[in-house]
Each structure stands twice: as structure tokens, then as C-alpha cells.
């Protein structure tokens, strides 16, 4: 039975081309997507160019492992090198945020991703496209979490972007 997955997408190197290419690759692999607006925000954890970030979702019967492998392939196709520091410029970053309502803590794979509660560039776009859905651990909607988030501390600037769906 298909499950709704949500992922975060970001780039601060050749941002427009990498985001557009990622969306096309995801559509080729998974079909119709729900896509948030694209937002620009300052790099976090290092000095660097601003990022473009968004959230996308789709229904799939792929396993978490299959999804992760496909996301890594899409990142590599867009110049991502995985052996650098955690906080560094990225040609493309695709992270699985949610796999339905699954709660998982297995090594490097933790769902829901903690970044949902920590970063405006994840929570804001997620609240935009899945505001009525509930965080599987907290039982609070993403819209409410966003309303309670310190948005003034983490500014997001909407970016005019071609229709990607």
C-alpha cells in the first residue's frame, strides 16, 4: 500500500538548475509531486552563499532504502560529493523527512527527521504543503508547529520559480 513521503530539497550551488533538475528527476521516478514554494535563506552552520530550499511529497510503495538510494543518485547526478563536512556548500541535498507516520531510529536513519523542528527552511515549506498533517511523535500539526516557531530568527524569502509540477 502506498505511503506519503515528504522530503526536503536544498541547493546553494547553481541553485536554480539543481533544484529544477532534482524536481524533474523525482517526477521521472515517482510521478506527480506536491511541491512547496521555493525559499531563499542564509546558509546555516557555515559561511556560504544562500540556499534555495523547498519540500516535496509523493505517494510511493518504495522502501526507505530504495528511496535513499535514489535520492543519493539524484544528488550525485547534480554534482553532490558526499565526503565533505556536514555544514558546507551543496550542489544538491535531498533528505527524507517523513515516511508516512513511521517513527524510526536505526543508525543514521531517524524518522521523522529532527530538522523538521529545528530549521525554518524545513518546517515552513512542510507546513505550507502538509499543514494539517500531524507530527508522528508530537501529535501536533505542522501548521501549528510553524505558528509557534521563531520565524523572525530564521528568515525565509519566497523566490519566484517556474511552475515545477
Question: pLDDT of 81-114, one tens digit each?
Answer: 666 655 557 789 999 999 999 999 988 899 999 9
Taking alpha carbons only, the member of 105, 115, 165, 117 closest to residue 142 is 117
Structural domains of the chain, ranges and CATH numbers in brackets? 3-159 (3.30.70.560)
Question: pLDDT of 114-165, one tens digit each?
Answer: 999 999 999 999 999 999 999 999 999 999 999 999 988 888 999 988 766 5
Question: pLDDT of 61-78, one tens digit each?
Answer: 999 999 999 999 999 898
Quote the pTM value: 0.92
Instruction: Dump strand ranges (E) for 12-103.
Output: 34-35, 38-41, 51-60, 93-99
| Backbone angles phi and psi of 159, in degrees to 5 | -120, 135
Return the C-alpha cell found at 91: 550542489
In whole angstroms, what is the distance from residue 153 CA to residue 105 CA?
29
Residue 46 is predicted with a pLDDT of: 61
Question: pLDDT of 10-44, one tens digit each?
Answer: 999 999 999 999 999 999 999 999 999 999 998 77
Amino acid at each position: 500500500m502506498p505511503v506519503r513521503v515528504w522530503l526536503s530539497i536544498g541547493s546553494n550551488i547553481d541553485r536554480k538548475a539543481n533544484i529544477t533538475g532534482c524536481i524533474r528527476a523525482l517526477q521521472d521516478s515517482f510521478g506527480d509531486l506536491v511541491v512547496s514554494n521555493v525559499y531563499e535563506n542564509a546558509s546555516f552552520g557555515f559561511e556560504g552563499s544562500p540556499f534555495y530550499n523547498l519540500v516535496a511529497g509523493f505517494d510511493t510503495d518504495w522502501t526507505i532504502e530504495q528511496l535513499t538510494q535514489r535520492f543519493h543518485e539524484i544528488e550525485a547526478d547534480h554534482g553532490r560529493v558526499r565526503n565533505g563536512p556536514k555544514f558546507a556548500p551543496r550542489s544538491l541535498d535531498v533528505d527524507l523527512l517523513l515516511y508516512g507516520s513511521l517513527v524510526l531510529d536505526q543508525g543514521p536513519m531517524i524518522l521523522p527527521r529532527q530538522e523538521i523542528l529545528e530549521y525554518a527552511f524545513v518546517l515552513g515549506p512542510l507546513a505550507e504543503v502538509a499543514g494539517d498533517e500531524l507530527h508522528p511523535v508530537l501529535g501536533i500539526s505542522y501548521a501549528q508547529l510553524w505558528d509557534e516557531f521563531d520565524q523572525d530568527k530564521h528568515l525565509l524569502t519566497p523566490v519566484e520559480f517556474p511552475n515545477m509540477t
